[in-house]
Amino acid sequence: MKVGYPSSGDQNFEYLRQENKFVEAFTYAWGMVESDIDQKIIYEFGLDTQNGNLDLKIDYVLRKFRPEIDFLHKIKKLNDAQYGALLDFSEKRNKLFHGTKGGNYSKLILNLTDAKKKEYLDVASLALRTTTLG
């Protein structure tokens, strides 16, 4: 009998993965990774998120994943392996959910083989572990 989701981020991802909930697991990992990277950027810039006066340039950066990880890599908060894992995850996510011009991403997701889903979830898992390293 299922009693609900586990309590930690990695466990939630693994739970969804084991339940064969590909889209849910992949988007969950993306949300966790993106949130963690945003928090690292906020910390590095010493921003106070409570006063509502985030600099517009920083607010713009927080809407773009690639500039965030480029910045964190440049200031050595991400090593090459971590940076590569996050880039790979970002590229796979964009391909799946944004596709190519005129592409139908839902059709792509529905036609993924189990092997391809495993590959994508392995990439998501590595990226999720990368952001929780501190």
22 Cβ neighbours under 8 A, 6+ residues apart = 109, 112, 117, 120, 121
pTM listed for this prediction: 0.79
Q: Tell me the C-alpha distance between 131 and 127, whole Å.
A: 6
Residue 112: phi and psi, rounded to 5, are: -70, 135
The helix/strand count (H/E) of the chain reads as 7, 0
Q: Are 69 and 37 in contact (CB under 8 A)?
A: yes
Mean pLDDT, range 60-69, rounded to an integer? 78
- The residue assigned the tokens 């950066």 is 61
**pLDDT per residue as tens digits for the range 87-113:** 999 999 988 877 665 555 666 787 889
